[in-house]
Amino acid sequence: MFVSCRRYIPLIFVFVAWSIATGLGQTVRAADEVPAPPVKHEPVKHEPLRHSQSNGWHVAESRNFRFHHHSQTTLVARLAVLCEDSRTAIRQRWLSTSGTANWSIKCDVYLYPTPAEYQQKTRFPADSWGFADLEIGNGKVWMRKLDLRSDNEARVINVAVHELTHVILADRFAHRQIPRWADEGIALNSEPATRQKDMRGWLAAEIKQGRGFTLHQLLSMQHYPQNKHLGDLFYAQSGSLVEFLLSQNSDSEEGVMRFVESSQRGLDKPLSGITLAKLESEWKAWLLNSQSGSEGGVQLAADRP
């Protein structure tokens, strides 16, 4: 689960999201053995890591990241390639910007080899796996940081891609924080396809039982549900809605981003030319049909020919 808290300081706010290894059952959560999905992107030139030491940490720097670790050189080398490649691909996909343009503020990545050290150093629960920490405001990102447990290499690879998505989306939403559902839904869309499929199947079963949020509730949430089951529904519905919007928009990711920005302006008027009630009906039909092998659906009004 990814939970968020937020505090304000002059012109800057800090956004924190952390992933908790509970909920959605073993089938949906057990995606450790699945590597991050390959994504086409501009070629990334991987320069040799620059190594140093600082405040008791080994530090390895790539073009856009600083990795703070305890002699985990093999994992750091793999993460450096993954983070640079994923940063480029996600920026090109969701921000329509050059993925290879350097960040003026590098992203610091802290790796904790045990749950106990992770909890001691971050003050977050030992059963969580990582979080993204940002300072953004006045149209600029002032700080980027990932804190990750590194005692399970397969898990840290997948968590890193999810949390990195939060960091990248902040570039577009530096004036006004991205809605909770969109932040998590897009991040979930960066995860392995098998996990998304399992989550979609679980959610469809829940919706058939009459459980779930209305879209008005989902899109207006400012805080993450603390109840475990409601938290599972929140993440599953957020990911499913983004997946649905991607399938319905002729211009795909940019159309989804316009929808997100439209939702920030209010939910009392149609979004992208469609009412929430109609959108909810079409989304549910798409979700249930997807489990029977027929995804169907129609385009959002604004994107229809």
Three-state SS for the chain is CEEEEEEEECCEEEEEEEEECCCCHHHHHCCCCCCCCCCCCCCCCCCCCEEEEECCEEEEECCCEEEEECCCHHHHHHHHHHHHHHHHHHHHHHHCCCCCCCCCCCEEEEEECCHHHHHHHHCCCCCEEEEEEEEEECCEEEEEEEEEECCCHHHHHHHHHHHHHHHHHCCCCCCCCCCHHHHHHHHHCCCCHHHHHHHHHHHHHHHHCCCCCCHHHHHHCCCCCCCHHHHHHHHHHHHHHHHHHHHHCCCHHHHHHHHHHHHHCCCCCCECCECHHHHHHHHHHHHHHHCCCCCCCCCCHHHCC
* Strand pairing category for 140-149 and 128-137: antiparallel
- pLDDT for 7: 33
List pLDDT tens digits, range 256-275: 999 999 999 998 877 878 89
- pLDDT for 179: 95
Ranking 19-28, 231-240, 279-288 by mean pLDDT, the lowest is 19-28
Indicate whether 186 pLDDT > 90: yes
Ranking 106-110, 130-134, 291-295 by mean pLDDT, the lowest is 291-295
Residues in the chain: 305
- pLDDT for 200: 93
Give me the residue label for tokens 């290879």.
100
- Better-scored residue on pLDDT, 150 or 249: 150
- pLDDT for 8: 35
- pLDDT for 203: 96
Mean pLDDT of 200-219: 95
Indicate whether 223 pLDDT > 60: yes
- pLDDT for 296: 39
- pLDDT for 37: 43
